[in-house]
Structure 1
Amino acid sequence: MEDLATSELFFQEISLETILGRPFQIEIVDSILIIGDNIEGKALFLYNLSDSSWVRVLNIGQGPGEVLAPLAIDVSDRDHTISVLQRQSGICRRYRVDRLFNDSIFDFQEASLEGADRVAQIHDGYACLGMFEQGILSFFDAKGKESECIDLYSRFDIKDISAKYRLFQGRLAFNERTRYLMFAPSYASEIGFYAEQDDGSWVKKDSFCLGTGGFEDRISESSGFELFKDDIRNCMDACSSENYFYMLYDGSDLGHTHKIEFRYVIRFTANGILDCVYKVNPTVRNICVSYDDSAMYVLMIGKDGEYAIGKSELSIR
């Protein structure tokens, strides 16, 4: 990332009346921040930016209305909804954010996305990353019926789908205006942008390569299909807004042998073209951006050494 022109973002901590535990994801719908944070027996922390009100919702467990961790979440600005994927079972529940804020925990639509580990809400269903029989990227309708599965890494002779997913896992983000899907891998080098065709199939429209492709070269020459301590972590998180995709880039090795000075947020247009790069605090671990691109919100380590929510105003270019 150092060879790309960058500008630095500085984050102001948002003062909360409560503490965060070990938050794992942040999203935004309208004025409500949604933080995945398994604390006090609840799965989600919802914070209203308009009046600083907040609630903790969704009991963790296996009873009626409860959800079982670990979770992955995604939101839709168009529908004002949040989807909560239970990664062990593939059960995905979609809630209206305003109703969930009022603790309407039984008001949801449920779909079984068997094999899914990550989820993105798309216009008529879900795009998922996971251990699927035909590949690691699969598409489902709103009721959980699989419509297509893409083997993104068919050129590698890896029969064990769990090994393939471990190597080529990543994050998804969907742009509701252009209907483009971004796949940003955790370790592999190529970020892909996909669009749905008139017949319902998905095709790659553009891509962007991080680094030299050394990770893929090593996998091609290997028979062990393992992650090594000197492998670089690329994507930590991804999100979209009305006009852009954003990817949080790490750049550290899995063995933590060197300390990074910055992490980076790479911004792409809604059609997958590199737009700009931001330097950010190296403790930033998750990101989301308001639909109008006016502000970025992050999970980071705050001044007191604990997890905090940070906000940075974005200049609209």
Structure 2
Amino acid sequence: MEIIDKLELAFYKKNGNDFEDFVVSVYKLQFPNLLAVKPQGQKGDGANDGYVSGKLVVQVYAPEKVEADKTIAKILRDFERAKNYGWDFNEWHFVVNDKFNKLHNDIHMAIDKLKKENINFAIKVIDAETLRDKVISQLDKNKLRIYIILNADKDISEFGDFEKVEKVIDALSKEKSIRKIQTVDFKNFSSEEFLPDGIKKLEINVEDNNLFKFFGIHIEKSQEVMEEYIPQIGLDLFTEIGKYIQDVYKKYELKMKPEIALLKTYETIYNKLDDDANLQTAIWVIMAYFFDICDIGKIK
């Protein structure tokens, strides 16, 4: 499925908290410092689902059906709550999932009135079409992050495309750096201090919730796929592939956070291959396997 089709499908499938999490994730593409705000007991979330201190409050509304009078009441109530709560902001976005049905004119008129009454604030209503276009505008520089956001809950339980795994292995085996590797260079991990539980290692290395879920799914599947495939390619080549992935990752990790290094490692491998959904899954499965068994990522 094309990424834009999958993006539009998300608006139809997501309601309530799922849509709120989705909005926060895509807003972080434009505002990396944006914080997700979770309710605090009786105080709630202060009419604020996403926050950039000194700049922006994002409030999300995702009812099963958008009704003009209820939406207007929520807009007015939430804006006043945000102003009175103590947030430091000059821009307020009300994101409503209308599932591309267009908002009633009364809602736009209510927003126009609110703007006139609050000239010190940049007030915007963001419908599904506007938010979709915001995400599309980020595709050139954030395609991989958007892919992960849209596939964080992807079901790969039935994945067993060994042809695609073989294609990835074959592409990597042709790398000059692999042909120069001596097997003895690959660490004997049984004598090293490392964390054999890939999910626990993810908790240490990955802060982004979407990447955590997405990569965790692949870690859980990787052992089943790779243990079946290793005898077909031979242990020596398998070991060399692991060393190559480890070296690529560590090169990036010297300059950036571990989770960004993971994304860069994927891109390095992906750019050697044709675009194909199963091929993408195969790359993540192979990376996940070596993340689980090797000293890729911090362990404490």
Instruction: Say which structure is richer in strand.
Output: 1
Indicate the structure with greater helix content. Answer: 2
TM-score band (shorter)? under 0.3
Give me the TM-score of the superposition, normalised by structure 2. 0.26
Greater relative contact order (Cα < 8 A, sep 6+)? 2
Q: Which has the larger radius of gyration?
A: 2
Length-normalised TM-score, structure 1? 0.25
